[in-house]
Chains A and B, each alone.
Chain A
Amino acid sequence: MLTITNLHASVEDHKILKGLSLEVKRGETHAIMGPNGSGKSTLASVLAGKEDYEITEGTITFKGEDLTEMAPEERAREGLFLAFQYPIELPGVSTMQFLKTAVNSIRKHRGQGDMNVAEFLKLMREKADFVNLDHELMQRSVNEGFSGGEKKRAEIFQMAILDPQLAILDETDSGLDIDALRIVADGVNKMRSDERSFIIITHYQRLLNYVVPDFVHILLDGRIVKSGGPELALELEKKGYDWIKEESGEAIVA
């Protein structure tokens, strides 16, 4: 599904990703963990197509196509979804209008017609229940007045509506209390399938107790320095990031 080879990316001439490689196959759930400043958000932004980032070396292919050639909306229409770490508020843009436009853009890309209003409302309500999101919030402007937890749940709600093939969750667990965390994890688990892949970017291991990944990668200083199964996350939790820094000490100095 997604192949990243030796990716180097910078923002305003600061090198952030320094040779990151990753392969995510269809149906797999990969977790990427790393300390602050390791490049987690940069990876998410580069995959989604944020313009502030410059790719200086390396390739990214998504379903066999060069992802870097695609505009952000194209990537979304091809089935890539990013759950933002800090979801944006859009005052005056109704949630319904926003999602209907998004859904129909994606459907058009797939050669399908617009969804009719009744169908769409039903879909919205179904998916809101998915993440325990109050139907009243649907009447509001996108993310306006939502609490931190509501915003994160709303991202999962949007994901459920847009039905992506590759979903990237950028620190979705940060700022969530245990109940909200369980609801979000539940939503994600319900969406796991052989057809859908996930990249879960997180600082803490906690979410991974609920959404057990197939693979865990540790990101340090712009590169993946260690990969393993779900137990790697537990080991990291126990030993802390310093353990990894020591282990890969020599490699980083270069």
Chain B
Amino acid sequence: MLTLKPTSDFYNRALQEYDRVFSGDGAPRPFADLRLRGRDAFQALGIPTKKHEEWKYTDIRRALPGDVSFANQCELRITRDDVASHAIPGLDARTVVVVNGVFEPALSDLDDLGEIVITSLREAKVTHVALLQEHFGHYAEVNDSSFVALNSAFDLDGVFLYVPNGVIVEQPIRILHAIDLDKEAIVQSRHLFVFGKNSQARVIETHYARTGSANSFGNHVTEIVVGEDAVIDHYRVEDEGDNAAQVNTTQVYQQDRSVFSTTTFTFASGLVRNNVNVVVDGEHCESILNGLYIARGDQHVDNHTLVDHAKPGCTSSELYKGIIYDRATGVFNGKVLVRRAAQQTNAYQQSQGVVLSDDADHYSKPELEIYADDVKCSHGSTTGEIDPDALFYCRARGISFEDARSLLLYAFAHDVVRQVKLEPLRDWLNTRIDERLD
């Protein structure tokens, strides 16, 4: 159980920690400019409260640790066997391992990369200077978010993934984010994925925590650049357990005619806030943002999305579904911005929540900000209980109340899962969903 700590404690400690890290030993630090901008932005913005519209349903302060110690100072105990035990059955994926926010090449599959590049950001700053200069820190804006600012202020050494122009990556890339802590800590990671023109790839990011790990607060930022004509499928599975809180920002930038999909599955967790922001800065693009969250106990899951249609002729589609048990809370806030130049935009958004007890809450807030006049935008939002007629029909056939409820909830979740293109991944998700639904 995460205990309440005063906000100002975290805020001041974070600033103090930054200053301590940057205390004048004169050593060169990569990304120093960005880090300073991050620090200044964090100082100016502070930690959001529920009075901020963007954080209306989520009191993030109660998830913040009192002691801002950085987890990557812990000893590495995750082994290759641990990694193997978390493989997705039947999925031949290339595994990349990040432990407590730090990329661990020794635990990752980095053989026979061919033309693709998987390396640490620090190394990439040396080996792929131009790419980093062009992209790194250009999309996740420190002045827009305290958490992007906080993330940018600290040690930035996550995964740099680069797929050059025209390369089709057959083997899915699986990034395993593991948390392994003895004591409460903040875990931050920062990644950059650059997909070249006409490239194709599938990336699956999974988050888990080692059993018995202490409370963690994760603050992660991933910038994803989807080049012209590229086709990229991205998945995120959050299953860290109720000791783990997380703010996860996925900032996507799409260029002409690209197709990008991202699906976020949230299973066992503490307080989670996902920000998925897709800037569609190309014509004739397609963007799919889907999510499924199954919240139990006192869990709190907040999915915020932003689709920014900047250019004409694009399609975006969002489907988020939540199943809320006990005293848990689910939030969906999806904003679609259609700029004046984005004529002929088709934007669809659907958010559905099922609440299974009197104390379960679900909030759904669609926002459409439309400045173009030749567009098709629709949104649907429903929150309710399981259809009693459907339940009765099942029971009238001899199916117990519990089995009937599971069948119907499974069917509810199915809409999101069936869009997952990799069959072994779908099967693995279905198993996990089955477990989570009673």
By a beta-carbon cutoff of 8 Å, the part of chain A in contact with chain B is 48-51, 71-73, 75-77, 82, 84, 87-88, 90-93, 97-99, 101-103, 105-106, 109, 141, 158, 162
Contact = CB atoms under 8 A, between A and B. Distances in A.
B393 A73 contact: no
B411 A92 contact: yes
A240 B401 CA distance: 43
Interface in B386-420: 387-390, 392-401, 403-404, 407-408, 410-412, 414-415
A98 B394 contact: yes
B392 A76 contact: no
A208 B410 CA distance: 41
B396 A92 contact: no
Q: What is the predominant secondary structure among interface residues of chain B facing chain A?
A: helix
B197 to A, nearest CB: 38
Contacts of B394: 90, 98, 102
B403 A101 contact: yes
A49 B398 contact: no
Contacts of A87: 393
Nearest to B387: A88
Contacts of A88: 387, 389-390, 393
B396 A141 contact: no
Nearest to A103: B398
A141 B408 CA distance: 11
Contacts of B396: 48-49, 72-73, 75-76, 82, 84
Interface residues of B, number: 23
A91 B408 CA distance: 9
B393 A97 contact: no
A82 B401 CA distance: 17
A104 to B, nearest CB: 9
Quick one: which of A48, A72, A75 has the most chain B CB within 10 A? A72
A87 B392 CA distance: 11
B411 A73 contact: no
A73 B390 contact: no
Given A90-B390, A92-B412, A97 B397 contact: no
A90 B408 contact: yes
Interface string B243-261: 0000000000000000000
Given A51-B388, A72-B392, A72-B396, 7 more contacts: A48-B392, A51-B392, A76-B395, A76-B398, A77-B398, A102-B399, A105-B403
Interface string B17-50: 0000000000000000000000000000000000
A78 B410 CA distance: 27
Quick one: which of A49, A75, A93, A98 has the most chain B CB within 10 A? A93
8 contacts: A72-B392, A72-B395, A76-B396, A88-B390, A90-B408, A93-B410, A98-B397, A98-B399
A141 B410 CA distance: 13
B402 to A, nearest CB: 10
Give the top 7 A-B pairs by smallest Cβ distance, nearest first.
Answer: A92-B411, A76-B398, A72-B395, A102-B397, A92-B414, A88-B393, A105-B398
Quick one: which of A50, A82, A90, A158 has the most chain B CB within 10 A? A90
A197 to B, nearest CB: 17
B408 A73 contact: no
A93 B403 contact: no
Contacts of B398: 73, 76-77, 102-103, 105-106, 109, 162
Contacts of B400: 73, 105
A105 B399 contact: yes
A236 B401 CA distance: 41
Contacts of A75: 396
Contact of A162 (B393, B397, B401, B414): B397
Nearest to B409: A92
Nearest to A80: B396
A116 B397 CA distance: 19
A93 B408 contact: yes
B73 to A, nearest CB: 47
A49 B396 CA distance: 8
Contacts of A76: 395-398
B372 to A, nearest CB: 34
A23 to B, nearest CB: 23
B429 to A, nearest CB: 15
A92 B392 CA distance: 17
Contacts of A93: 407-408, 410-411
Contacts of A50: 392
B411 A90 contact: yes
Contacts of B404: 73
A251 to B, nearest CB: 33
A49 B400 CA distance: 13
Interface in B407-438: 407-408, 410-412, 414-415
A158 B412 CA distance: 23
A101 B394 CA distance: 10
A50 B390 CA distance: 12
A92 B397 contact: no
Quick one: which of B394, B397, B414 has the most chain A CB within 10 A? B397
A51 B404 CA distance: 16
A141 B390 CA distance: 13
A236 to B, nearest CB: 29
A48 B408 CA distance: 20
A129 B281 CA distance: 55
A71 B393 contact: no
B257 to A, nearest CB: 33
Contacts of A73: 395-401, 404
A138 to B, nearest CB: 16
A166 to B, nearest CB: 13
A71 B401 contact: yes
A87 to B, nearest CB: 7
A99 B407 CA distance: 12
A109 B397 CA distance: 13
Interface in B343-400: 387-390, 392-400
Nearest to B403: A101
Quick one: which of A49, A73, A109 has the most chain B CB within 10 A? A73
Contacts of A77: 398
A135 to B, nearest CB: 20
A48 B403 CA distance: 18
A233 to B, nearest CB: 27
B399 A91 contact: no
B415 A92 contact: yes
